[in-house]
A and B are shown apart, each in its own frame.
Chain A
Amino acid sequence: MASVAMTLDANCIKRDFPALERIVNGHLITYLDSAASSQKPWAVLRAMDNYYETTHANVHRGVYTTAVEATERYEGARVIFARFVNANSKREVIFTKNVTESLNLVAQSWGNANVGPGDAILYTEMEHHANLVPWQMLAARTGAVLRYVPVTDDGHLDLSNLDTLLDGAKVFTFTAASNVLGTINPVRQLADAAHRAGAIAVCDAAQLAPHMTMDLQAMGVDFAGITGHKMCGPTGVGVLWGRESLLDAIPPFLGGGDMITDVHIDGFTPNELPWKFEAGTPPIAEVIGLGAACDYLSGLVLDDVRAHEIDLTGYAMDVLEARFGDRLKIHGPRDPNARMGVLSLALEGVHPHDISQVLDQQGVCVRAGHHCAKPLMRRLGVGATARASFYVYNERHDVDTLAEALSSASDFFK
Chain B
Amino acid sequence: MPGLEDLYREIILDHYKNPRNRGTLEVPPAHRSDGVNPLCGDEIAVYVQVEGDTVTDVKIGGQGCSISQSSASMMSAAVKGKSIKDARLVIKAFKAMMSIHEPGHDPDAPPPDIKLGDLEALKGVVKFPVRIKCATLAWNTFAQGLDQFVK
Residues of A within 8 A of B (CB): 25, 351-354, 357-358, 361, 368-370, 374, 377, 383-384, 408, 412-413
In the complex, which residues of chain A have a beta carbon less than 8 angstroms from the beta carbon of B16? 413
Question: 6 A-B Cβ contacts within 8 A?
Answer: A353-B67, A357-B131, A361-B1, A383-B63, A384-B42, A408-B1
Kindly report which residue of chain A lies nearest to residue B7, judged by CB atoms: A357
Is A353's CB under 8 angstroms from B128's CB? no
A-B contact count (CB 8 A): 53
Residues of A within 8 A of B65 (CB): 351-354
Complex: A308 Cα to B13 Cα, angstroms: 40
Contacts of B41 in A (CB 8 A): 369-370, 374, 377, 383-384
Chain B contact residues, CB within 8 Å of chain A: 1-4, 7-8, 13, 16, 39-43, 63-67, 69, 128, 131, 134
| Contact (Cβ within 8 A) B8 A412 | yes
Minimum CB–CB distance from B140 to chain A (whole Å) comes to 17
Q: How far is the CA of A385 from the CA of B13 in the complex (A)?
A: 20
Nearest Cβ on chain A to B1's Cβ, whole angstroms: 6
Q: How far is the CA of A408 from the CA of B69 in the complex (A)?
A: 21
Q: How far is the CA of A67 from the CA of B3 in the complex (A)?
A: 52
Which of B40, B43, B69, B128 is within 8 Å of A368, CB to CB?
A: B40
Known interface pairs A351-B65, A354-B8, A361-B1; 11 further A-B residue pairs with C-beta atoms within 8 A, sorted by A's residue number: A351-B66, A353-B134, A354-B67, A357-B7, A357-B128, A369-B40, A370-B41, A383-B41, A383-B64, A384-B42, A412-B1
B1 to chain A: closest residue by CB = A361
Nearest CB of A to B144, in Å: 20
The smallest C-beta distance from A412 to any residue of chain B, in angstroms, reads 7
B40 touches A354 (CB 8 A): no
Shortest B89–chain A CB gap in Å is 29
B residues less than 8 Å from A369 (CB atoms): 39-41
CA distance A383 to B39 in the complex (A): 11
Find chain B residues with CB under 8 A from A384 CB. 40-42
Contacts of A352 in B (CB 8 A): 40, 65
User: Which residues of A are found within 8 Å of B39, using beta-carbon distances?
Assistant: 369
Residue among A370, A374, A384, A412 with most chain B CB within 10 A: A384
A408 CA to B2 CA, complexed, in Å = 12
Contact assessment for A25 and B4 in the assembled complex, using a CB-CB cutoff below 8 Å: no
Chain A residues, Cβ within 8 Å of B7: 357
Give the complex CA separation of A361 and B5 in angstroms.
11
CB-defined contacts of B1 to chain A, threshold 8 Å: 358, 361, 408, 412
